[in-house]
Structure 1
Amino acid sequence: MLDLVRRHGWNATAFQTLGGEYSYFFHGEGEARGCVAYVDTGRAWVAAGAPIVAEESIAELATEFVRAARAAGKRCCFFAVEDRLPDATGEALRSIRIGEQPVWDPREWPEILREHKSLREQLRRARAKGVRVREVSPEELAHGPTGEAIRTVAERWLAAHEMAPMGFLVDVEPLSRAPHRACFVAEREGTVIGFAGVIPVPARGGWFVENLLRVPDAPNGTAELLVDTVMRWAANVKCQWLTLGLAPLAGDVPGALRFARRFSAPLYDFEGLRRYKAKLQPRVWSAIHLSYPSEQSAGASLFDALEAFTRGGFVRFGLATLLRGPTFVLRLLALALVPWTILLAIAPARLWFGTPAVKWFWVAFDIVVALGLFRLLRTRDVALMTVLAVAVTSDALLTLVEAIVWNVRHMQGVGDALVVLAACAAPALASVVLWGARGRILRMRGV
């Protein structure tokens, strides 16, 4: 497989397919031999980029892959392909644009810096804060403390994101394929605070910045200083093509994807990622597509591609994200407490609580918790988060006891049962979310 990638790896994703989660479909003999790297979601085979083969054999290999998937009872698609695959396969595959890929000629980087003062200022800020970037050898990664420091950076970077870590082409494994990649670290006072991992795109004589990570409290300009070092290194090795990879949902994507781009910001800032890459002044933006058999629907193909990223399915991924305590969930909990507290205040005390004193205790408790949650949305104070998590966990336990001791004996139908169930489930869920958010914030801060 490595030999095929070295000879025919034209897409930025080619070297990523050497990871352990991929299956491989081989076809052809001699110079026409090629491969499609894919993951099996259960419903579909989702290829990581275009077929890895000589250009004149792309259409044949794509056709054979589709035929093999169909024989196995699977749908299939090719994720993150450039125009070359749709052009080669004609009407056999349909394609939808899913984003754009920025491309630079590293030799032009000094001119870009001369023309854009804001970029120079970012570099100046990072250097003024004592940030220095250096290349790291594979030997140092394997045998020194730098490798562990890079893993820590990756863990803190992942913890800063509210979605659960994804797999497939965005899996963050900063030390994988170490012998074949170039690695750079940003350090401040001897501590690693950022990392850039660059993998080759052999058939283009280019490089792909696969990982560009920094800890959340790194000085402004750290990422830009990493890019600056990578650009200068790439120019020195005579590279004329370099990318930072796909900016998903960027550019002229279909209406449904524009809708997703606009309303998914609470979990992932697609617009912000595109703006950041644009700030680095790429020479060109290349369209990136999802290609799929003409008899297959676009909706099913998008579903399959997204499922490939979820590490075990949408339900598992959704639960994993929920357990990280994302901001929008905390906001929903805070907002939901307002009408719930009003309902408690007007509910008959004798029917639901036994005595007015118990009722007004819960009303006061929920008001305090709601105020704490609204404050938490502004501060992310770990101490406050701990207090709220303990309080809401206690709420969940006491509510369950109250339901068993009092409410179960006084329920008068299905409606009452549903109210009691909601009263027990809500604080239990909230406590899990708060403890998950606390753990994520601590990991993000390196505690």
Structure 2
Amino acid sequence: MDTEHARVLELLKRHGWNATSFQVLEPGYSYWFDGEDACVAYVDTGRAWVVAGAPIGPHERLAEVAARFEAHAARSGRRLCFFATEQRMLDAAPLKGMAIGEQPVWDPRRWEQGVRESRSLREQLRRARAKGVRVREVSAAELKDPAHPVRAGVDGLMERWLVSRRMAPMGFLVQLSPYTWAEERRSFVAEWNGEVVAFLSAVPVYARNGWLVQHLLRGGKAPNGTSELLVDAAMRAAAAEGRGYVTLGLAPLAGEVAGWLRAARVMGTPLYDFEGLRAFKARLRPHAWDRIHLAWPERHAPHLPLYDALTAFARGSLARFGLATLLRQPRPLVQLLAVLLVPWTVLLALPANAHRFPSPLVQWGWVLFDVGLTVGLFSLLRRWRSGLATLLATLITGDACVTLLEALLYNLPRARGPGDWLVMAVAVLAPATAAGLLFWARRHPALEPA
């Protein structure tokens, strides 16, 4: 442990109140210390400093430390925002705030009562146990040894889980880092038929005598109820130690958020299951929901802090993150291809476009061919089959070749302006691009059946 991280850990053990406070020990953070009793952990996006939660220090000094850090950021030519702050930060400091979601909170000493009162939760736990799922706490030594079977099992689970994600890996407060500071964590595995099928890692929230469940990973083979069984084990362990606070962390965009954030929640569903995540946490019967905020100094426009926070999660470039996400998950691209093929086919069938074909027979041949492709693509999206993807890619390749030949021999000599050139370009390039996409996606691991 280096001196700087040792100093941060010592401050966390005295003043780490925010649910996310322990995560500032993970890679990628810079630290600004204010005297001997306070510090701020942040990431630098190049234009802004994005703080992970609130400053770490005595409650009575939050406003002072935030103001001094804001002045430091201004002198350094950086904007400033505080991501995932709780209400007491807004009460303590003159900051603007915007709700970005809610996080569920439990008193683990009341967990057993909640289980008794929830028939659905008891049933999920019963199902997992009946299937033979066994949950146990694992030591830091087991996780830190790359040759240990438990470590190998968790590594394999994480690899499969990452492949299944719709978005590219993110940074900042959502890093997958269960082995860092393993001695301070509490970790549990669920094993089924001798295999690790789920994993839970909790980190301390020192000043609240509690835990944040930072990682909860479930593999595709895990029987129903496995995740609930892991949470049950963690809650009972916390209760046995007399802890009074456990949270499963932020449910993004949940609860009362601004209208445009609610719209983002709906539009973002293909990439992130906002509703599903909140529903899972709600089924565990939390005792309260704490509202979580994005906060920023009054001198900043309200749209900039959200952009800066998203840039921090994207590891510095939203454009690069978006491209990586598209390449990681081909299904939205195939879906876009299928949707665009519908209006294209309608345009081909219009009488106004008859002059683009050697004869009506050729025109309707193309129309029928594209109708068949559309049906095939939507069938592929309902249930991905690599064989069907290969067949469609081969047919579209033939489409591109024949279209190029027709364009050179028939359309090119008859072209009369930019409109004709544009139609020819789209007619040739679109199927060529689509064929390349399908050949690439046909055996993509994110699309293979579990």
Q: State the distance in 2 between where 1:443 and 1:74 align.
A: 44
110-119 vs 12-21, which deviates more?
Answer: 12-21
**Residue equivalent to 1:230:** 234
Aligned counterpart, 1:28: 34
1:69 has 2:69 as partner: no
CA distance in 2, matches of 1:258, 1:100: 13
Q: In the aligned structure 2, how far is the partner of 1:228 from the partner of 1:159?
A: 27
Given that 2:329 and 2:446 are in contact with CA atoms closer than 8 Å, whether structure 1 keeps it comes out as no
Partner of 2:105: 103
Please say if residues 348 and 367 of structure 2, whose CA atoms lie closer than 8 Å, have aligned partners that are also in contact.
yes
Q: How far did 1:149 drift?
A: 2.4
CA distance in structure 2 between the aligned counterparts of 1:283 and 1:176, rounded to whole angstroms: 30
Q: TM-score, normalised by structure 2?
A: 0.89
What value does the CA root-mean-square deviation take over the aligned residues? Answer: 2.7
Tell me the secondary structure at the aligned position of residue 172 of structure 1. Answer: coil
Q: Residue 94 of structure 1 corresponds to which residue in structure 2? A: 96
Q: Does structure 1 residue 439 correspond to structure 2 residue 444? A: yes
1:240-279 mapped onto 2 (5 Å cutoff): 240-279=244-283
1:12 is aligned to 19
Matched position secondary structure for 2:214: strand
Contact kept in structure 1, 2:26 and 2:177, CA below 8 Å = no
1:215 pairs with 212, 219, 230, which one? 219
Q: Which runs of 5+ in 2 are unaligned?
A: 1-7
Whole-Å separation in 1 of the counterparts to 2:73 and 2:293: 20
- AA matched with 1:120: R
Counting aligned pairs with the same residue, the percent is 53
Give the AA of the match of 1:149: G
1:133: Cα distance to partner? Answer: 1.3
Q: 1:380 aligned to 381, 384, 394, which one?
A: 384
Asked if residue 412 in structure 1 is aligned to residue 416 in structure 2, the reply is yes
Deviation at 1:126, TM superposition (A): 1.3
1:237-289 CA distance string (max 9 Å, x none): 22211100001111111222122223322222212211111110111111111
1:134 maps to which of 121, 133, 136: 136
Work out the CA distance in 1 between the residues paired with 2:403 and 2:215: 46
1:297 aligns with 2:271: no
User: Structure 1 334/131 Cα, relative in aligned 2: closer, same or farther at 3 Å?
Assistant: same
SS in 1 for 2:328: coil
User: 3-state SS of the aligned residue for 2:198?
Assistant: strand
Q: Offset of 1:198 from its aligned partner?
A: 0.9
Paired AA for residue 446 in structure 2? I
2:166 paired residue among 158, 162, 166 = 162
Q: Which amino acid aligns with 2:262?
A: R
In structure 2, relative to structure 1, the CA distance for the partners of 1:194 and 1:298 (3 Å cut) is same
Q: Secondary structure at the match of 1:47?
A: strand
How far apart in 1 are the matches of 2:256 and 2:442? 35
- Aligned amino acid, residue 35 of structure 2: E
TM-score by length of 1: 0.89
Q: How far apart are the structure 1 equivalents of 2:351 and 2:413?
A: 17
The 1-side partners of 2:118 and 2:216 are apart by 21
| Counterpart contact for 1:185–1:226, Cα < 8 Å | yes
Matched residues, number: 440
Distance 1:14 1:365, change over 3 A: same
- Please tell me whether residue 318 in structure 1 is matched to residue 322 in structure 2: yes
